[in-house]
């Protein structure tokens, strides 16, 4: 059952000194050494609430998150119980963090045919605990770009929102947010004023992109360098395109 909101009254500032800012790198003999620059995380839910009927925010607290550093667009790999003593790992984009308080937010899409991760998140409440690894992933903003463009469905919006908010004040960017739930159906990003936000349904996306492309070419932007984000493509990054691989959970 989905709970409206629960808050755990535990502040990492009150933790004993020995629990503050713990660091446990992933051992190099695990995951073929691919995650040796990430850390083992013991997470405890401090808050869980619905941002919209289809979106749930979960805030984790941990001494492992004090001083936690990541790049906007990265994720955490969370281990969820799957029954019969088994567990499965799922990756969720980091929506925001508070390294001083040892907090980390994820926003999950409560879509149909939910998997193990989504079902756990739908019922998560204060005090629930999980193991995770992070930060991980090579998704991030590209420097030296004239234009940043993001196309994100509901499941990809947390990563797109985080990267848009990480842009500098003079950045030129457009975010196309594709949803069947209606415009502004969830709390959106708080990016620089120069960022244009377009909320639309999937049927209108092609026309919107054509209009954007035509306008960008007229302004002389699109033929140089762009940073793009796509919720539907897993194309490897090329020399001028940075395409996040954001997958449904």
Using one digit for the tens of pLDDT, what is the confidence trace for 180-208? 999 999 999 999 999 999 999 999 999 99
Rounded to the nearest angstrom, the gap between the alpha carbon of residue 171 and the centroid of all alpha carbons in its chain is 20
- Whole-number pLDDT of residue 53: 96
- Whole-number pLDDT of residue 12: 52
The C-alpha atoms of residue 149 and residue 222 are separated, in whole angstroms, by 10
Q: Are 38 and 136 in contact (CB under 8 A)?
A: yes
- Whole-number pLDDT of residue 84: 87
Percent of the chain with pLDDT over 90: 67
- Whole-number pLDDT of residue 15: 52
C-alpha dist (Å) from residue 248 to 50, 153, 170, 205: 19, 10, 32, 19
pLDDT tens readout for residues 27-84: 999 999 999 999 999 999 999 999 999 999 999 999 999 999 999 999 999 999 998 8
- The residues of the chain that CATH labels 2.40.30.10 are 5-136
For residue 91, name the pLDDT band (cuts at 50, 70, 90).
very high
At residue 9, does pLDDT exceed 60? no
Average pLDDT, the chain: 83
Q: Which fold has domain 147-230?
A: Rossmann fold (3.40.50)
- Whole-number pLDDT of residue 21: 79
At residue 136, does pLDDT exceed 80? yes
Q: What architecture does CATH give domain 5-136? A: Beta Barrel (2.40)
| pTM value > 0.85 | no
For residue 145, name the pLDDT band (cuts at 50, 70, 90).
confident
- The residues of the chain that CATH labels 3.40.50.80 are 147-230
Peptide bond into 125 cis (omega under 30): no
């Amino acid at each position: 059952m989905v709970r409206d909101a629960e808050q755990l009254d535990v502040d990492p500032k009150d933790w004993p000194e020995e629990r503050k800012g713990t660091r446990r790198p992933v051992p190099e003999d695990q995951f073929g050494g691919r995650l040796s620059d990430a850390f083992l995380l013991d997470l405890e839910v401090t808050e869980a609430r619905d941002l919209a009927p289809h979106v749930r925010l979960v805030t984790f607290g941990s001494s492992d998150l004090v001083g936690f550093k990541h790049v906007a667009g990265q994720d955490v790999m969370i281990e969820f119980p799957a029954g019969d003593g088994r567990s499965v790992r799922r990756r969720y984009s980091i929506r925001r963090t508070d390294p001083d308080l040892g907090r980390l937010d994820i926003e999950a899409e409560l879509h149909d045919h939910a998997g193990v991760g989504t079902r756990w998140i739908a019922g998560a409440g204060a005090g629930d605990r999980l193991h995770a690894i992070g930060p991980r992933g090579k998704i991030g903003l590209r420097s030296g770009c004239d234009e940043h463009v993001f196309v994100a469905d509901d499941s990809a919006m947390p990563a797109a929102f985080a990267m848009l908010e990480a842009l500098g004040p003079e950045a030129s960017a457009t975010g196309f947010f594709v949803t069947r739930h209606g415009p502004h159906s969830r709390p959106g990003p708080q990016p620089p004023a120069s960022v244009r936000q377009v909320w639309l349904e999937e049927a209108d996306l092609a026309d919107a992109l054509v209009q954007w492309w035509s306008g960008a070419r007229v302004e002389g932007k699109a033929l140089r360098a762009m940073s793009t984000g796509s919720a539907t493509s897993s194309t490897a990054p090329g020399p001028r395109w940075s395409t996040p691989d954001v997958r449904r959970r």
